[in-house]
Amino acid sequence: MKYAEVYKILEKIYLNKAYSNIELQKECGEDKQVFKTVKGVLENEFRINRVLFELIEKKPKNKILIILKIAVYLLCFDENSKKYAVVNEAVNFAKSIGKSNVCGFINAVLKKASELKLPPDFKNIAEEISYKGNIPEYLAEIYLNNYGKSITELCFEKKQKKYHIIVNGIKWSREEFEKFLKVNEINFTLSCSGGYLTANNEKLSRLFNEGKITYISLCSSLIANECEKNTLDLCSAPGGKSIAATLNGCNVTVCDVHSHRLKLIDSYFKRMGIEYNEIFLNDATVRKDEFAEKFDTVLLDVPCTGFGVSDIRPDILLNRKKEDIDTLSKLQSVILDTSCGYVKKDGALIYSTCTITKEENSLQIKNFLETHDNFVLERCKTEGDIFDFGEQYLPIREGFGGFFLAKLRRIK
């Protein structure tokens, strides 16, 4: 096991708060073992914490904790690792970074970990969901309070990972893409948004690089399908929904508050060989007069806690705190209030998040409608699993994550 490589990447993710998907792509290269181990540690974070909680009274210093997390993952959650070597490798690695003084401690903890009965006993259902779903306990409680025990359990049942693809109709046709899938024996199902669900396949990466297809979540493409004609996407980076709406025939004006993220949108459009209408560095919390009553659709894909996509971005759960729900819902409310005036009469305001908390979703829209009688709520083309001031999609149907979408029509 390449302990040093795995440790180096995890140190960046845990201590420097680097994005896990970016670090994995950048640092692992072709090394599948390093990639699998880093991903395995992150995807078992809360289970590993639970094991350590059973064995250690006081949280060790950060570097030691990372060494222990790697070893506990290999001992308890990786069926393919060579268990007999794990303890020695962890101890030797600790010595190599000058931590000889804690080798006895590491040795003792890992010996006990290898003998532990798993899964452990749970005091309550929130503890059990936290362990099974690999989420923090406060988030398990939010799921249980909002959706009840049986739906929550469905959300965390193991499912086969599927990738959602849309075709760039400017470069080739759906028929040509389907022929490619057939010739290369790639199984697929059509999604309810008109895209394709497949398992990952290396043959598709060439098409991605050529901009003939792109990967965009099923929920994102449902959101883009609600956009009409002249669309203003106020929080667009990295650009997935703007791209999908453009491919649907919309004329999209793209904006984001971060200039480095505007560059991501621009290069995404270039790869696809398509054009946006205009691009603005813009803070959606500040009113921009030139946008007033100008757009058929204003899309607000607001910054949110992201709990609905934590299976793809496990680092979201490492860095989020429960208090972020409150901070982000205040920001979302200001963005909604500032931007609703950009919608023409008879146009639509589309509000979306990739999360499952009521504060950021249904309560946000309920409060908005109470103070804006010129907007009414409409149902969307693909209905959610729960309708509560908008469509709440949950990770219980094939290809779905946890997303929220509300379509508000401006009637006067």
Contact 228, 252 (CB under 8 A): no
Return d(Cα 159, Cα 129) in angstroms, integer.
16
Q: Is 241 one of the binding residues for ligand SAM (CB under 6 A)? A: yes
Q: Is 256 one of the binding residues for ligand SAM (CB under 6 A)? A: yes
At 203, list the tokens: 């043959």
β-strand pairing of 213-215 with 163-167? antiparallel
The residue from 70, 74, 237, 254 that contacts ligand SAM (CB under 6 A) is 237
Q: Closest approach of Cβ 331 to ligand SAM, in Å?
A: 7
Q: Is 146 one of the binding residues for ligand SAM (CB under 6 A)? A: no
Contact 377, 406 (CB under 8 A): yes
With CB under 6 A as the contact rule, which of the stretches 16-24, 164-172, 192-200, 232-240 interacts with ligand SAM?
A: 232-240
Q: Closest approach of Cβ 193 to ligand SAM, in Å?
A: 14
Q: Is 169 one of the binding residues for ligand SAM (CB under 6 A)? A: no
CB-nearer residue toward ligand SAM: 6 or 405: 405
Contact 227, 240 (CB under 8 A): no
Considering CB under 6 A, how many residues would be counted as binding ligand SAM?
18
Q: Is 232 one of the binding residues for ligand SAM (CB under 6 A)? A: no
Active site residue 354: yes
Q: Closest approach of Cβ 111 to ligand SAM, in Å?
A: 44
Q: Is 363 one of the binding residues for ligand SAM (CB under 6 A)? A: no
Out of 28, 304, 354, 380, the active site residue is 354
- Residue 2 contacts by C-beta under 8 Å, 6 or more apart in sequence? 31, 33, 34
The residue from 11, 137, 210, 283 that contacts ligand SAM (CB under 6 A) is 283
Q: Is 120 one of the binding residues for ligand SAM (CB under 6 A)? A: no
Q: Closest approach of Cβ 95 to ligand SAM, in Å?
A: 43
With CB under 6 A as the contact rule, which of the stretches 34-42, 78-86, 279-287, 315-323 interacts with ligand SAM?
A: 279-287
In sequence order, what DSSP letters do the residues of 346-387 get, joined into one string? Answer: EEEEEEEES---TTTTHHHHHHHHHH-TTEEEE--SS--SEE
At 316, list the tokens: 């979201």
Q: Closest approach of Cβ 20 to ligand SAM, in Å?
A: 17
Maximum alpha-carbon separation in the chain = 72
For residue 223, give the nearest of 389, 382, 364 by alpha carbon: 382
Residue 42 Cα distances to 46, 48, 310, angstroms: 9, 9, 11
The residue from 83, 112, 174, 258 that contacts ligand SAM (CB under 6 A) is 258
At 192, list the tokens: 């309810």
Return d(Cα 178, Cα 185) in angstroms, integer.
10
At 353, list the tokens: 């998040």
Q: Is 235 one of the binding residues for ligand SAM (CB under 6 A)? A: yes
Q: Is 239 one of the binding residues for ligand SAM (CB under 6 A)? A: yes
With CB under 6 A as the contact rule, which of the stretches 2-10, 27-35, 253-261, 401-409 interacts with ligand SAM?
A: 253-261
Return d(Cα 334, Cα 343) in angstroms, integer.
16
Q: Is 257 one of the binding residues for ligand SAM (CB under 6 A)? A: yes
Q: Is 103 one of the binding residues for ligand SAM (CB under 6 A)? A: no
- What's the number of CA atoms in the CB half-sphere (13 Å) around residue 269? 22
Return d(Cα 67, Cα 89) in angstroms, integer.
10
List 109's β-bridge partners, or say none. none
Residue 196: φ, ψ to 5°: -130, 135
Binding mask 294-333 for ligand SAM (x = CB under 6 A): -------x-x------------------------------
CB-nearer residue toward ligand SAM: 152 or 352: 352
For ligand SAM, the binding residues (CB under 6 A) are 220, 234-241, 256-258, 261, 283-285, 301, 303
- Annotated catalytic residues are 354
